[in-house]
Amino acid sequence: MDLDAVAAIRDERVDWRFKGLPSDVFGATIGDVAGRRLDLFADGFVGPLVVLDAAALEHNLATMARWCADRGVLLAPHGKTTMAPQLFVRQLEHGAWGITAANTSQLRVYRAFGVRRVVLANQLVDPAGLRWLAAELAADDTFEFTCWADSVAGVARMTEALGTVARPVDVLVELGAPGGRTGARDLATALDVARAVVAAPTLRLVGVGGYEGALAHDASAAAQSVVDGYLTALRELAIALGGMVEVDEPIVTAGGSAYFDQVAARLTETWPFPVRPVLRSGAYITHDDGFYRGVSPFSRMSGAEPFRPALRAWAQVTSRPQQDLALLTLGKRDASFDEGLPEPQVVRGRDGVERPLRAEVTALNDQHAFMRLSGDEVEVGDWVGLGLSHPCTVFDKWPLIPVVDGTTVVDLVRTYF
C-alpha cells in the first residue's frame, strides 16, 4: 500500500461531519485528536457512538494470521467489511496476501491508497469501469488484479469494453449453485465460460472462485453438508480446467467468515498440480456479538482460541415512559439490524461505574432503540454499552470511529463508503 497516503488520513480536519465527536476538537486533525487520548465519558463525546476495542482488533488480526499460516492458505480479506485503509494496512502487516473488493467504487478507494493486489469477487462488465481498470493496469505494472466471470455473455461484454489493452485482465471462473447468488450453475456452463476467457485476447484465465456463504446460514450439520458439497464441486471445476489455465499456479478461492474452516480444509487437500488457495474472510477483524459469534468456526472448534468482539455501541437512556421500557439514543442510522438487533451488555451510571445489564432490544426506529427491562436497571441519562451483530452493516454508518483502550481513545479509523 501507499503508506504515505494512509498516513495523510491523519491530516484531515475533524468537524461536524463526524458524528459523536466532541465539538471542542473541531478544526483539529484526526492525528491530533487521536494523540490527545480523550476519555469517552469525560471529554465531550455525544451519543450514540460506535467504538473499536484496540486489544480485540490486535487479537483477531494475529489469530487469523496464525491460523491461515498453520494451514497453508492465503488470505485476501474482504475490505468491504470496513472500507478502512488504516485497517487494510494492519491486515497486510499481519500477512494478508491481498484485499478483496466487490465493485468498481471500492476498487477506486483501494487504488487511491495504493493497494497492489486486489481480488474483485464479482463480475466486472461495466464499460466505464473496465476502461478505468485498463488504465490502472497500464500505469502500474505492480498492480495485480483478478475478477470473476460466470457467463459467456459477460466475457463478451468485457472483451468489447476493453478493446486493446497493455495487459490482459486476469479472470477467475465463478462457480455458483442453484439457489445461490452469482456463478455458473453447473460444470458444463463453467467450462464454456473458461473457454470464452481463454479465447479472449484481452483476458487471461487464472483459476476459479466462488462463495459458499450464500448457500447456508447457520452452523447446523445440514448447513455444513451443503457447504461441503459446494466445495467438492469447486474442486472438480478447478481440476477440470487443468491445462486451460494460463498461469503455472492457478488461484482457487472461496471463504466468507462463517465456514472458512471447511474451505481451508478442502482447498488444502492434495491437488494434481500446484494451486494458490485463497480465503476471502473479512468479518474476522472485528467479529461480532451476534451472527458471527454463532457461526464462526472458532466458536465451534473445541479448544480453539475464539475471536473477540471488537465493536461496541454506546447510547444514552433518553426516556423511561413505562416500567418495562427504556428508549436509547441509537437506531437504524447507527447500528446494524439485518442479522440481529443490538445486544445490551453493560450500563454505566452517573457514578461512572459499569455494571452488567440484563435487558433486550426488541426494535429499532431510525434513531431510537426500544429496550425491554424487568425492573429499575437503568435511569434516564445512563449510558448503555451494546454488542453489535454483522459488522458489514455497521462501518458504513460511521465515517470516523474511535479506537479505545478501556474508555481512552487511542486512535481514530476513517472509513470510505
User: pLDDT tens across 137-177, in order?
Assistant: 999 999 999 999 999 999 999 999 999 999 999 999 999 99
Nearest residue to 81 (alpha-carbon basis) of 410, 330, 401, 352: 401
CATH of 3-54+307-414, one of 3.30.420.40, 2.40.37.20, 2.130.10.10, 3.30.160.160: 2.40.37.20
Calpha distance 255→279 (Å, rounded): 5
Percent of the chain with pLDDT over 90: 94
What pLDDT is stored for residue 300 in this prediction? 76
- CA separation for the pair 193, 174 (Å, rounded): 9
Cβ atoms of 180 and 170 within 8 Å: the answer is no
301 band by pLDDT with thresholds 50, 70 and 90? confident
Domain boundaries, the chain: 3-54+307-414, 116-281
Is residue 288 a contact partner of residue 267, using CB atoms and an 8 Å limit? no
Name the percent of the chain lying above pLDDT 70.
Answer: 100
pLDDT digits (tens, 9 = 90+) for 72-82: 999 999 999 99
Predicted confidence (pLDDT) per residue in 311-368, tens digit: 999 999 999 999 999 999 999 999 999 999 999 999 999 999 999 999 999 999 999 9
Closest CA to 190 of 170, 211, 202, 172: 172
Q: What is the pLDDT of residue 168?
A: 97
C-alpha cell, 26: 473541531
Of the candidates 199, 203, 278, 178, the one whose C-alpha atom is nearest the C-alpha of residue 238 is 278
pLDDT of 43 > 90? The answer is: yes
Q: What is the pLDDT of residue 302?
A: 67
> What would the 3-class secondary structure string for the chain be?
CCHHHHHHHHHCECCCCCCCCCHHHCCCEHHHHHHCCCECCCCCCCCCEEEEEHHHHHHHHHHHHHHHHHHCCEECCEHHHCCCHHHHHHHHHCCCCCEEECCHHHHHHHHHCCCCEEEEEEECCCHHHHHHHHHHHHHCCCCEEEEEECCHHHHHHHHHHHCCCCCCEEEEEEECCCCCCCCECCHHHHHHHHHHHHHCCCEEEEEEECCCHHHCCCCCHHHHHHHHHHHHHHHHHHHHHHHHCCCCCCEEEECCCCCHHHHHHHHCCCCCCCCEEEECCCHHHCCCCCHHHHHCHHHHCCCCCCCCCCEEEEEEEEEEEECCEEEECCCCCCCCCECECCEEEEEECCCCCEEECCCEEEEECCCCEEEECCCCCCCCCCEEEEECCCHHHCHHHCCEEEEEECCEEEEEEECCC
Strands 144-149 and 203-209: unpaired
Long-range contacts made by residues 247-250, C-beta under 8 angstroms, separation at least 24?
247/204, 247/206, 247/207, 248/274, 249/274, 249/275, 249/276, 250/206, 250/207, 250/208, 250/275, 250/276
Does 106 score more than 90 pLDDT?
Answer: yes
CATH number corresponding to 116-281: 3.20.20.10
Residue 410 near residue 37, CB atoms below 8 Å: yes
Could you read off the pLDDT of 245-264 as tens digits, one per residue? 999 999 999 998 989 999 99
Rounded to whole angstroms, the Cα distance separating 167 from 304 reads 44
Question: What is the residue-averaged pLDDT of the chain?
Answer: 96
Q: Kindly report, residue by residue over 110-138, the tens digit of the pLDDT.
A: 999 999 999 999 999 999 999 999 999 99
Angle 221-241/187-199 helices, nearest 10 degrees? 40
Which whole number is the average pLDDT over 289-306? Answer: 85
Does residue 44 come out as left (phi exceeding 0), alpha (psi in the -120 to 50 range) or beta? left
d(CA 387, CA 364): 14
Beta bridge partners of 372: 325, 360
Give the CA radius of gyration of the chain. Answer: 23
